[in-house]
A and B are shown apart, each in its own frame.
Chain A
Amino acid sequence: MLDNVLYALTHVFDLKIILFMILGVVVGIVVGGMPGLSVTIAVALILPFTFGMDPALSILMLLAVYCSGIYGGSIGAILLNTPGTAASAATAADGFALTQKGKTGQALGMSLYASVIAGLLSGVVLLFVAPQIAKFALGFGPPEYFTLALFGLTIIAAVSGKSLAKGLVMACLGILISTVGIDPINGNTRLTFDTMFLMAGISLIPALLGLFAISEILKQSQIGINKLSVNGDVDDNGFGWRNVIPFRKTILKSSLIGVIIGAIPGTGGSISSFLAVNEARRVSKDPDSYGKGNLDGVAASEAGNNGTTGATLIPMMTLGIPGDVVTAVLLGALLIQGLQPGPQLFQNHGGLVYTIMIGFILVNIILFIVAKLAIKQFAKVSRVPASILFPIVLVCCLVGSFAYDNSMRSVWFALFFGIVGYILPKYGYSVVPMLIGIILGPLAETSLRRSLVLSNESLLIFFQRPISLFFIILIVLSLVLPLIKKFRESKEKPDDSISLPK
Chain B
Amino acid sequence: MTTKVKAAIPPLVMLIFGFVLLLIIPGQISSGGSRSYVNPQFIPYLMGWFIVILSVISIVIEFIKKDMTSEETGEEEKSRTLDQKQYGKVFAIFSLLVLWAVLIPYLGFVIVTYLFVLGVMLLLGNRNKYQILIVPIAVTTVVYFGIKVFMKVNLPSGIFL
User: CB within 8 Å of B: which residues of A?
Assistant: 48-49, 51-52, 163, 165-166, 168-169, 172-173, 175-176, 179, 183, 185-186, 188-193, 214, 217-218, 221-224, 226, 385-388, 390-392, 394-396, 398-399, 402-403, 406, 408, 411-412, 415, 418-419, 422, 427-429, 441, 445, 448-449, 452-453, 457
Known: A49-B151, A165-B54. A394 touches B126 (CB 8 A): no
**Which label, helix, strand, loop or mixed, suits the secondary structure of the B interface?**
helix
Chain A: minimal CB distance from B31 (Å): 8
Cβ contact within 8 Å between A388 and B135: yes
For B155, the closest partner residue in chain A by CB is A399
Select one of A175, A214, A223, A391 contacting B116, CB under 8 A. Answer: A391
B61 beta carbon closer than 8 Å to chain A: yes
Cβ contact within 8 Å between B135 and A169: no
Chain B: minimal CB distance from A384 (Å): 10
B21 beta carbon closer than 8 Å to chain A: yes
Cβ contact within 8 Å between A449 and B121: no
What are 25 of the A-B contact pairs (CB < 8 Å)? A49-B147, A52-B151, A52-B153, A166-B54, A169-B11, A169-B14, A173-B51, A175-B47, A190-B28, A218-B90, A221-B89, A226-B125, A388-B135, A391-B124, A391-B136, A391-B139, A392-B117, A394-B93, A395-B143, A402-B154, A403-B153, A408-B156, A415-B98, A419-B94, A452-B36
Known: A391-B117, A408-B104. A222 touches B135 (CB 8 A): no
Cβ contact within 8 Å between B38 and A388: no
Chain B: minimal CB distance from A435 (Å): 16
A61 to B27, CA, bound (A): 45
Chain B: minimal CB distance from A26 (Å): 14
Residues of chain B within 8 A of A427, CB atoms compared: 10
Chain A: minimal CB distance from B127 (Å): 9
B152 beta carbon closer than 8 Å to chain A: yes
**Which label, helix, strand, loop or mixed, suits the secondary structure of the A interface?**
helix
User: CB within 8 Å of A: which residues of B?
Assistant: 10-11, 14, 21, 24-25, 28-30, 32, 34, 36-40, 42-44, 47-48, 50-51, 54-55, 57-58, 61, 83, 86-87, 89-90, 93-94, 97-98, 100-101, 104-105, 113, 116-117, 120-121, 123-126, 131, 135-136, 139, 143, 147, 151-156
A179 to B89, CA, bound (A): 35
Cβ contact within 8 Å between B97 and A398: yes
Residues of chain B within 8 A of A457, CB atoms compared: 36-38
Residues of chain A within 8 A of B28, CB atoms compared: 190-193
Cβ contact within 8 Å between A222 and B51: no
Residues of chain B within 8 A of A165, CB atoms compared: 11, 54-55, 57-58, 61
Cβ contact within 8 Å between A402 and B155: yes
Cβ contact within 8 Å between B156 and A411: yes
For A217, the closest partner residue in chain B by CB is B93
Select one of B30, B38, B55, B152 contacting A169, CB under 8 A. Answer: B55
Select one of B44, B54, B154 contacting A176, CB under 8 A. Answer: B44
A494 to B27, CA, bound (A): 51
For A453, the closest partner residue in chain B by CB is B38
Cβ contact within 8 Å between B139 and A395: yes
For B118, the closest partner residue in chain A by CB is A391
Cβ contact within 8 Å between A49 and B113: no
Cβ contact within 8 Å between B10 and A399: no
Select one of A386, A395, A441, A448 contacting B124, CB under 8 A. Answer: A386
